[in-house]
Amino acid sequence: MGVLIVEKENLKHNIRQIKEYAKKNGNPRIIAIVKSNGYGLGLKEYSEFLIDNGIDFLAVANCKEAVELRKFGIKEDILMMSSTAIKEELKEMLENNITIAIGSKEAKENLIEIIKETNIKPKVHIKIDTGFGRYGYLSSDKETILQEIKELEKYADIEGIFSHFSMSFYKEKWTSIQFNRFNEILNYLKENNINIKICHISNSSSFINFPKMNLNAVRIGSAFLGRIAVGNKLGLRKIGYLEGEIAEIKTLPKGWNIGYSNTYTTKKETRIAIVNTGYAEGFHMKLERDMLSFSNKLRYAIQDIKKIFKNTKLYVEINNKKYYILGRIGMYHVTVDITKEEFKIGQKVKMNANPLYVDSSVRRVYR
C-alpha cells in the first residue's frame, strides 16, 4: 500500500497566497473547510497544520467530524455547516462547544429544547437557502427568518449568517442572483435592528472569481489544496500525491498479455515493475467532473473519446521521469514499463492522486 504525501512547503505557499489575496480584497476572515477528512489530507493533521499557519476558524459538514476535532484537542472555533434537527447531534455539539448551523424551524425548536435542558448557550450561524436547494431557510421567507432569529437569540449567541453558491466556478449571472438574495436578507435584518457579526457566502471559486462578494468572511476549502475548478490566478500549487514502491520486477516475452481483459499485449520483450498502489487507494481518480457545468462535462467527454483514438498513456514518475503504465490499473497494483532501467525492489514511485479520493486507510505523511 502507498502513502499520501502532503508537501508542507507547497501547502504553506497556498496559505500565504490566499491570505495575501484576502487582504487585497476586503480582508475577510478565513474559515477553513476541513470536511471529508480534511479534503483527504487527514482531519487531524490538516487542521493542526492550518492552525499552526494562522487559520483560527474551521468548518466541517457533519457532527462526527466536528466532535472529532474537539477530541483531537482543537480549541479554535468550529462551525458545523449542515443544519440538523437531530436532537442527539445538537446535544453533542452543544456539549463540545461547536458552532451550530440552524436552517429550519425544526432545527431551531429542537436546539432551544436542548439548551433549556443543558443550560448551555451555543454560538449559532443562520443558514439561508438562496438557490442551492439544500439546507437553510428560503431567502424568500424574510419575515419567517426574522421571527426565527428573534426567538432563537433569546437562547443562543447568533454569531453568523451564511449561504452557499451553487455555480461560482462557472458564470457570474446565477452567482450574482444568489448574492443579491442574500444581501436582501442582510439588509432586511438590519432594517429590523438585527446586526449579525459574521456574514459569509463565498467559497473558494467565488473568492477567486468574484472577490467583490467576499463580505466579511469567506469559506476556503479546495483552494488550499490548489485543486480548483477556476483559473489559477493566485499561483496555487496542487497538494498531495500517492507514493508507492516497486514490489516486483520481471521480464515478459513478446506477445504476453498484461492485466484484466487482456487490454495490453507486449510488442517485444519487456521489463516491468509491479507497483503496489492502485485505484482503490485513489490513483488516477478525479472529482472535478462531478461539479462542473454541462459544457465542461461535454468537453471532458470529448477528451475521453480522443484518448481512446490517440491511445493516450497513463504514467507514474520515478526519479522525476515518466514511466508508462501497461494494461489496466488494478485495485491495488499497476504494471509499469521499465525496459532498459535497473531499478531495485522498494524504489519509490510518484503517482497522481486527488487526496479526496485517497482511501482513509492510506497513511498521510507531511513532508
Q: Which amino acid is at 102?
A: I
CA distance 221 to 225: 7
Q: How many CB atoms lie within 10 A of CB 362?
A: 21
Site of grid cell 468550529: 78
Q: How many CB atoms lie within 10 A of CB 210?
A: 18
Is 35 a known active-site residue? yes
Is 260 a known active-site residue? yes
Q: Is 233 exposed, middle or buried (0-12, 13-18, 19+ CB in 10 A)?
A: exposed
Query: Catalytic one among 116, 190, 212, 260?
Result: 260
For residue 105, give the C-alpha cell. 424551524
CA distance 6 to 37: 14
For residue 132, give the C-alpha cell. 442551492
> 139-142 long-range CB contacts below 8 Å, 24 or more apart?
139/163, 139/181, 139/182, 139/184, 139/185, 142/184, 142/185, 142/188
Nearest to residue 240, comparing CAs of 289, 282, 279, 205? 282
Nearest to residue 104, comparing CAs of 64, 60, 158, 148? 148
Query: Catalytic one among 35, 44, 108, 350?
Result: 35
- Contact (Cβ atoms closer than 8 angstroms) between residue 160 and residue 126: yes
3-state secondary structure of 314: coil
Active site (catalytic) residues: 35, 260
